Amino acid sequence: MLRIKWIRKLLKILSNNYLKVYNEIILKMLFEITNGIDSIKIEEKFCVPLELEINLLKRDQEWNRIGDHLYYYTYPDANHPKSAASIVVGESYFNTIVSIINKKKFNTN
């Protein structure tokens, strides 16, 4: 009987550790935005909210590219495979994105 209790306790510890690792690795996948020198990372769950904020800005080809990259990183489909986990943008775009991330308090690392 003591062995069964010990095994149950061990299984509980292992499953808790597994969930902790799963949450850190899978659920908190990070997306990196860089200007080639500096970079900022956000959790995947903030990619679409950031994309929505970007859609409110001036519409031009570069903003469209950035927004599409963020959206299809989170929601790929048959016509748009999953985007890379990072994107390189120009300095002014990078500064604007960092400003949005800080203003909206998107989790950064």
Q: What is the pLDDT of residues 15-26, one digit of tens each?
A: 666 555 555 555
CA atoms within 13 A of residue 43's CA, in its CB half-sphere? 11
Q: How confident is the model at residue 4 (pLDDT cuts 50, 70, 90)?
A: low
Please check whether residue 62 is in contact with residue 35, taking contact to mean a CB–CB distance below 8 angstroms. Answer: no
- In this predicted structure, which of 12-16, 57-61, 80-84 has the lowest mean pLDDT? 12-16
Q: Is 60 exposed, middle or buried (0-12, 13-18, 19+ CB in 10 A)?
A: exposed
How many CB atoms sit inside 10 A of residue 18's CB?
10
Give residue 59's pLDDT: 84
pLDDT tens, position by position, 62-101: 999 999 999 999 999 889 898 899 999 999 999 999 999 9
Task: Identify the residue with better confidence: 18 or 58.
Answer: 58
Give residue 50's pLDDT: 96
Query: The pTM is what?
Result: 0.73
